[in-house]
Structure 1
Amino acid sequence: MRKKLICLLVAGSLPGIAMADTTSDEIKALQAQLNSLQKEVKQLRAEVAAKPKTVAAAPAAAAPAAPAVAAAPVDISSPDYGKSQATLTNDQVDAMKQQIANQQLKVDSLVDAQNTGPIAGLSVTGYIDPTYVYNRDLSSSSFLFANHESSYDYFNSTFGDIYLDIKKTFGVGPMAPSAEITLMPNRGNGITLLQNEHGSTGLDILNTAVVTVPVTATTTFVAGLMPSFGGYEVQQSNQMVTLTHNLLYDFSDPGSYVGAGVNYTGDSSNWAWKFMLGNEQYRTYGSSIQTGTNALGDPITSSNKIPTFTARVDYTWSSALDIGGSFNIGRQTLAQGTDAQGNPLPGVYGSGGVAPSAFGTFFFAEADAAYTLADATYNAEFDYGQQQNAAFNGGQAQWYGISLLAHRKFTLPTVGRMGVTARYDVLADTKNGGGGGGVVLNSNGMDPTNGFGIGASCLANSKANGGLGFECKGAIHQDVALDLLFYPTQQITVKVEYRHDWATEDVFLHNSGSYGKSNDMLATQFIYAF
């Protein structure tokens, strides 16, 4: 009994340790401790009430008698026989009840702060992924991390950066709305891709920003800056099983959109739909392009007033297989030519400067599948896209491609958990010299760093005969990527990738100034997720 009393008094006088951290686990542990204390107090009070009370008879001349206490019954078979028994007074029970009430108040305060306080429903996650890349054609070998590079290349896209995801959920349960913002200071949408009405990038750290409001149990309203619905691959390095992205993600699938949409899950959990209406991709505002000047020399502009509609459907065939697809339709703005001083040239549109209009209808569709079972993952994607007036010679751009990926995890005795990945991509963009979608050609009809557009030899022959290369075909670009992945801890992933790219035309620029049909890249990446 003495041991039990001491434990109760010590436990009752403990400070509110859960105040240091308002996590659910600690709150539950403290609540369990209080429940146990309350049970013990009830048991002790029952024991006190059941014990017979005795009053000692004192002589008339004796001092006033001490307060009566409960006498414990004697059990000679008890191992504690012969030892003094602890007793519990009503005052001590009342003191313990007060201490337990104080602890209960602290628990209630923590629960309230967790559900309704300023940090309730707040989560901050992310990663850093310094990357080292060797590029044979460019004869470069360098760390890529927090580098302020404004161009988007397959060997320097969304890796070597800092990613921060901040999400706030307002309330609890499936009907609670939320707001989520992701930041990427150097390689995200804001720094390289988001454009204002004049086609200039904002150079900000904002990557996405989405508010989600459940309307019913099956329908959710979303609005803000969102990634497109296309493809099996994601942006985040810590969720990828390769170091570089596939060709379709980089140059075929649409990018991010500013708009609003609805997500719907049918009564059967096998089907899910997404719908969105927004600006043309990468535009934070409706585009505006100069088409001429008035009599006073002020610019006359034309705006893209046609929004883009995009949708996606997914069917969960089984717990391992998901099949989905998406499409986009809208109107895109073409690049406008400029003079030597950078002033816009009305009537000069497209990479070749001969597009008949400043805008072109854009259509894209893709189908993808993901099969995941235990430690094996398989992905497949097929793309098709076309864009009016967007090709190098001013005609219709048209492209199609395939991406196939296989990944498997396993454990080695000395190395531990690791994985291997193999990926093959092909993106054909040959019609009218290439262009459209995510393929951005220069004034010569080439993208010499990423291997698209017309070949250097075809362009040279065309110019030798008085042409501009408009009769040349664009390149078919292919690549194979092989990756080794290591998982030393839950937070750390190390990737090593060898990638070989090749094309049907001499579209890869060498550091010597010549052009070739292939390139090789070797890279390693260290990811720390938090």
Structure 2
Amino acid sequence: MKRHLPLATLSLALAAIYPATVCAAGANDALLKELQELKARMAELEKRLDSQPAAPAAPSGMTPEQLQDFNRIAVKTEAMEDSRDALGFKGLKISGYMDPTWIYNQRQHRAGFQFLNAVDNGGYFYDTSYIGTAVIDFTKETDSGARWRLTLSPQRGTQAVAEGSNSPVHEASVSVPLTDLQTRFIAGHLPDWSGYEYLQPTLNKLITHNLLFDTTLPAAYTGAGMELTRDKWIIKALVGNMNASKRQSGEKTPVVAYRVDYAKGEFQGFGFAGVHGKAPNASQNLLDGDGNPIAQRDSRVDLFEIDSYFIRGDLTAQAQFSVGRQRKASISPDPLTGERRDAHWTGLSALMAYKFEPWLEGIARLDHIWNRKNGGGLLTYTAADDRNGIGPAAGGDPNRGVDRSALTLGLGYNFNLNTVFKAEYRIDRASGAVFRDTRDGGFKKTNQLLATSVVVSF
């Protein structure tokens, strides 16, 4: 039937051309007769075509040519799937990000770019932390539902931060479904899951992290446990080492770490996390009750925090409350016995963000930590730190630590789906002079920071 159109079109074209030609040359009756015979002939051919049966369609409704093309595509697709499975690419996802950063630190008199700086070249500070990283993440899920994950972050992974090593491992974990996909066994090296703020810059709205993140939370765990998903609840718990890939001689007691999240509705929820057990104690010259040195490498830790969020439309609100204690980890020893006392702290952090435009967001964060008892002392901070602003004030009572606070203001500009530009101003304050000015060697109560970065992810 589709052949009728070209024949009809040809007849119309001839009908248009021939009369014009005849008129132009002085048409005669013979030429008109030939044209009529040609029309009759075309009409006869169209009738013959109408009387011919159409080509049978394939059972699928496709013509034989279409079916042949379909079969060719199916064979190629199956070959590609077989090749993918043989190479192990099925269920494999590769992602990553980089965040080159520029920072100005007032008391350090330092300004410049930082990117992939080694953590063991200067320690963990709030103006370096995990800032300036390059990360690649490999996630593989098998047909059985088991997940395998390896995240590499040269110089700035959680293992490097926790142990002061050059390890690039940030996470190396497995998750195996037991009775169903919502009941899983987890094991390996896992980043800490406490608090409302995420470690990675792709999920952290600001450049620096809050004070609770930097000074009161673990970096990672090495151990095994369970993850349960029940309706609106997600529960994770494990037994293992805190901030250590293996225990040292004489260390036997692990920690129990847990995290519970509840999504109250579409826009809000809360969670809480805790750690209880023995963990590395960086205090030097630990003494027993008689004032004799003891070879203790770890001590009892009890951490608990609760956090919540509200995210709706352009508005984001998040908050966190933390309490913690570590035995024999105070900055100042007992003035009479010389024995290390317990370190205690309590902290609050709150963040609000608002999108003025879909691509432009303003952020404000306020943090405060109470840390005066026994000269101060925070998790892994068992000595005075004149850069982070921890410990007794210069020239003050050595048995009284300082309280710390920080106000951070920032902007986030979403250039496209994969690129975010960030800018930040932060002022840190202490109740005593603990920030050392590297220019004159004096101590101040405040320090200021400016930062900008670009986060590119895929």
TM-score with structure 2 length normalisation?
Answer: 0.81
1:489 and 1:98 map into 2 onto residues whose CA distance is 43
Partner of residue 210, structure 1: 173
1:403 counterpart = 2:349 = yes
1:99 and 1:364 map into 2 onto residues whose CA distance is 64
Note if contact 1:115-1:121 (Cα within 8 Å) is conserved in structure 2: no
Deviation at 1:188, TM superposition (A): 1.7
Deviation at 1:3, TM superposition (A): 11
1:86 and 1:483 map into 2 onto residues whose CA distance is 75
Per-residue CA distance 1:315-341 (angstroms, 9 max, x = gap): 21111111111111001232364xxxx
Deviation at 1:168, TM superposition (A): 1.1
Partner of residue 312, structure 1: 259
1:156 counterpart = 2:128 = yes
2:132 and 2:254 map into 1 onto residues whose CA distance is 33
Note if contact 2:323-2:347 (Cα within 8 Å) is conserved in structure 1: yes
Deviation at 1:97, TM superposition (A): 4.4
Moved more, 517-526 or 112-121: 112-121
Note if contact 1:426-1:479 (Cα within 8 Å) is conserved in structure 2: yes
Partner of residue 73, structure 1: 50
1:276 and 1:423 map into 2 onto residues whose CA distance is 31
Query: In the alignment, which of 126, 130, 133 is matched to residue 103 of structure 2?
Result: 133
1:161 and 1:190 map into 2 onto residues whose CA distance is 14
Matches within 5 A, 1:112-127: 112-113=82-83, 117-127=87-97
Query: In the alignment, which of 424, 449, 462 is matched to residue 366 of structure 2?
Result: 424
Partner of residue 151, structure 2: 182
Deviation at 1:169, TM superposition (A): 1.2
Instruction: Name the amino acid aligned to 2:137.
Output: D
Per-residue CA distance 1:20-65 (angstroms, 9 max, x = gap): xxxxxxxxxxxxxxxxxxxxxxxxxxxxxxxxxxxxxxxxxxxxxx
Structure 2: stretches of 5+ with no match in the other structure: 6-46, 58-62, 334-339
The verdict on how the C-alpha distance between 1:515 and 1:499 changes in structure 2, with shifts beyond 3 A counting, is: same
Partner of residue 323, structure 1: 270
Query: In the alignment, which of 498, 515, 519 is matched to residue 443 of structure 2?
Result: 515
1:386 counterpart = 2:350 = no
Segments of 4+ moved more than 6 angstroms? 85-90, 352-356
The verdict on how the C-alpha distance between 1:265 and 1:513 changes in structure 2, with shifts beyond 3 A counting, is: same
Deviation at 1:359, TM superposition (A): 3.5
Instruction: Name the amino acid aligned to 1:282.
Output: N
Partner of residue 463, structure 1: none
The verdict on how the C-alpha distance between 1:218 and 1:100 changes in structure 2, with shifts beyond 3 A counting, is: closer
Instruction: Name the amino acid aligned to 1:455.
Output: A
The verdict on how the C-alpha distance between 1:438 and 1:232 changes in structure 2, with shifts beyond 3 A counting, is: farther
1:167 counterpart = 2:147 = no
Instruction: Name the amino acid aligned to 2:118.
Output: H
Instruction: Name the amino acid aligned to 1:399.
Output: W
Instruction: Name the amino acid aligned to 2:381.
Output: V
2:4 and 2:206 map into 1 onto residues whose CA distance is 60
1:499 counterpart = 2:445 = no
Partner of residue 528, structure 1: 456
Partner of residue 455, structure 1: 393
- Give the superposed CA RMSD: 2.9
Find the residue that maps to 1:154 and give its secondary structure. coil
2:65 and 2:449 map into 1 onto residues whose CA distance is 73
Note if contact 1:113-1:120 (Cα within 8 Å) is conserved in structure 2: no
1:284 counterpart = 2:284 = no
Note if contact 1:454-1:475 (Cα within 8 Å) is conserved in structure 2: yes
Query: In the alignment, which of 217, 222, 237 is matched to residue 275 of structure 1?
Result: 237
Query: In the alignment, which of 221, 226, 229 is matched to residue 190 of structure 2?
Result: 226
Per-residue CA distance 1:473-496 (angstroms, 9 max, x = gap): 111000000001111111110111
Moved more, 422-431 or 99-108: 99-108
Deviation at 1:348, TM superposition (A): 6.0
Deviation at 1:88, TM superposition (A): 6.2
The verdict on how the C-alpha distance between 1:308 and 1:396 changes in structure 2, with shifts beyond 3 A counting, is: same
Partner of residue 161, structure 2: 192
Partner of residue 79, structure 2: 109
Deviation at 1:426, TM superposition (A): 0.5
2:64 and 2:400 map into 1 onto residues whose CA distance is 91
Matches within 5 A, 1:141-152: 141-150=111-120, 151-152=123-124
The verdict on how the C-alpha distance between 1:436 and 1:357 changes in structure 2, with shifts beyond 3 A counting, is: farther
2:418 and 2:189 map into 1 onto residues whose CA distance is 28
2:48 and 2:407 map into 1 onto residues whose CA distance is 87
Partner of residue 18, structure 1: none
Instruction: Name the amino acid aligned to 1:272.
Output: I
Note if contact 1:253-1:438 (Cα within 8 Å) is conserved in structure 2: no
Deviation at 1:113, TM superposition (A): 4.8
2:54 and 2:234 map into 1 onto residues whose CA distance is 66
Moved more, 387-396 or 106-115: 106-115
Instruction: Name the amino acid aligned to 1:177.
Output: A
Deviation at 1:213, TM superposition (A): 0.8
Deviation at 1:310, TM superposition (A): 1.2
The verdict on how the C-alpha distance between 1:186 and 1:358 changes in structure 2, with shifts beyond 3 A counting, is: closer
Aligned residues, how many? Answer: 400
Find the residue that maps to 1:456 and give its secondary structure. coil
Instruction: Name the amino acid aligned to 2:443.
Output: Y
TM-score with structure 1 length normalisation?
Answer: 0.70
Note if contact 2:84-2:90 (Cα within 8 Å) is conserved in structure 1: yes
